[in-house]
Structure 1
């Protein structure tokens, strides 16, 4: 028999076209099956991850959350984070909240991977807004708010924690530095940042004799317990970009009977107001607006701090939170659709649609009131409109001839401290009754009503 040519042999070795088509079809089917299984597995894993995250979201750890708000200062942020990693031995987490920087900050944070937790905001929400996001993310039993233009040194956190933990009555602690306003600034021997670590190494020796109580801590670096955050709440986002929001927070801390302490045995370097200086001519406009907002909110805050502490001492009251300085007889709402009627120290879900104004609060604020049985919208509105009690005595909002406003519930009269407090709870929309000082004197003086912090994001 004649042997086949090489070409013939090669041709006959190939499967028929129909078989090749079927093979390609099976290959595509296998690929599609694998892709489908991958998508199903990925989706299932993602759902499990989300559920695990939800279950562990509120789980904290015995350590410190270091919250750093930042905006367009990448080089400063690098130095700050590097100094924390080099000089912090105790358990901690770093949380960076980026106020929509345009200088590559987001890429840098992504490159750090799991070394930091971070969130990049879609717009600049200012210092308060960024801090509030960080507070919402924080899981530590203690929290540090730290400016991005700082460089920490050896034993910085150890010393601050030693001071904070020395007395449960201490609310917040702050270090000293080379550049700041007020009591926390000290003279330093170095002119070059490279010489700072040697100076700080000798300076940062724990010494309780150097701890000093103060009326004010500047927010470039403050340490407090997570418990304090739950009692005081979020920063007020009514302060635009920056300035005075830390003064506002300090006042609220002191109104709860907690003290502020400067740890004069602890030094960190502060370049100083870098983000605010970048505002240029706009800085004074922002500063003036925030100052006016602060004064409208508090009028004379130190007078109110003194009076609150007097009243709580006289009554023997302790361990209270901001809910004690918020009003009764108001409607409030948090993240969800539920509206609550606040009265008698509890929150009652309102059933039905309310036509009265509703104040917006964070969930941290709302959850301070214990939950109670629902109330109908009709009954809540009736109570909102009431100006007399069962025996025709004044109830609700009353005004003295001189203009002072009081909120009366039962036999207690509480001064509404400012127009901002009146408007923040929509009390200016509530009916009121004019009374004389002699009539008001029949009521017991209660704790004053302060304004709620403004929120411009979901918290």
Structure 2
């Protein structure tokens, strides 16, 4: 997922400007446009991220000599902070696609996929800073392993601490541990969808990788049809990895591509809204892939978890953050009821 915010209507998919015809054009052109000398297209989907774009795009542009032809596309999701103008002035070689509505992360990516020329397409969050050699490492990994459709990089938070970048597909245990964390060992375990931290420095096959730093093989997008735009933000890359694997592609973690992910920096001010969007996306995923009985249990766990969180917050001295969080919990309870 990516720090993008819903418009006021907020209904998932309601803001998507991608018509069915545009969506069809996402059956993307072969292994790259005919005669294309572009190895890699880097895609950044941005919403009011102007303060981060310098730190995001500078390392990308500096790595342009590492591959044969680098194209950079920024999809601006109706920002109001002058992001698009800033990118055009500061990075004139970057293609800016401006949307007049906030499409969300997946639909924003699809807009870029439709025009991207690279054989490898690398998604980079606007609050992710690539470390030297990351672009070449991801491109090389896909080039050398033809069965791999997507590969994720290694991530650290802004303070240098470890961030999980590869995940197992969601399970009921994960839903439970999200609301009722037991202890650190369980939170870090496969029950919670995690791979061991110890293997983070090695290449390994995984269920899904985080969209903050993720390289995609162009032909894999052509086969699977890009991201499901019904996810406004969050979970869309997990859903896509699920479909990718169903088509016989592999998904891997590549430790040689490193990014510093100042995670969620541009969503801090709207944390409650992000909480709602996360659970809206999760519910869509559950309904799509799980049997109805399992979905019902997940909804019940979520409802109880939110009710418990509201009770906990009410015992504290009220402040704006806790009121906002209570509103978010109530909205999620309505969502899963």
The separation in 1 between residues aligned to 2:81 and 2:145, in whole angstroms, is: 42
Determine whether 1:231 maps to 2:223: yes
What is the CA distance between 1:220 and its match in structure 2? 0.6
Do residues 212 (structure 1) and 204 (structure 2) align?
Answer: yes
Structure 2 gap segments, 5+ residues each: 1-31, 168-200, 296-337
**2:322 corresponds to:** none
Q: Which residue of 2 aligns with 1:291?
A: 282
CA gap 1:238/1:114 in 2 versus in 1, 3 angstroms: same
Work out whether 1:98 is the aligned partner of 2:76: yes
Q: Does 1:148 align with 2:130?
A: no
- C-alpha RMSD over aligned residues: 2.5
Cα distance in 1 for partners of 2:268, 2:241 equals 23
Change (3 A) 1:167 1:79: same
Which residue in 2 is equivalent to 1:342? none
1:271 partnered with 2:253? no
The 3-state SS of whatever aligns with 2:146 is: coil
Shift of 1:95: 0.2
Deviation at 1:126, TM superposition (A): 0.7
Q: Please point out which of 258, 261, 275 is paired with 2:252.
A: 261
Q: TM-score, normalised by structure 1?
A: 0.46
Q: List per-residue Cα deviations over 1:258-317 (Å, max 9, x = no partner).
A: 1111111221111112344342321221111111111111116xxxxxxxxxxxxxxxxx
Residue 64 (structure 1) aligns with: 40
Aligned 8 A contact 2:84 2:96 in 1: no
Partner of 1:87: 63
Stretches of 4+ aligned residues off by more than 6 angstroms: none
In 2, Cα distance between equivalents of 1:116 and 1:62: 14
Q: Partner residue of 2:164? A: 182
Contact 2:165 2:210 in 1 (8 A): no
Q: Does 1:134 align with 2:134?
A: no
Tell me by how many angstroms 1:62 deviates: 3.6
* Distance (whole Å) between structure 1 residues aligned to residue 165 and residue 92 of structure 2: 37
- Any idea what SS the aligned residue of 1:137 has? coil
Corresponding residue number in structure 1 for 2:146:
168
Q: Is the Cα contact below 8 Å between 2:148 and 2:252 reproduced in 1?
A: yes
The 1:184–1:253 alpha-carbon spacing in structure 2 relative to 1, beyond 3 Å, is closer
Label 1:256 to 1:184 Cα distance change in 2 as closer, same or farther (>3 A): closer
- 8 Å CA contact retained: 2:166, 2:207: no
Q: Are the counterparts in 1 of residues 38 and 71 from structure 2 also a CA contact under 8 Å? A: no
Does the Cα contact within 8 Å between 1:87 and 1:153 map onto a contact in 2? no
1:162-208 CA distances to partner (integer Å, 9 max, x unpaired)? Answer: 221222111111111113763559xxxxxxxxxxxxxxxxxxxxxxx
Higher-Rg structure is: 1
The superposition leaves residues 360-400 of structure 1 with CA deviations (integer Å, 9 ceiling, x where unpaired) of xxxxxxxxxxxxxxxxxxxxxxxxxxxxxxxxxxxxxxxxx
Q: Please, which of 78, 93, 98 is the counterpart of residue 115 of structure 1? A: 93
Change (3 A) 1:276 1:237: farther
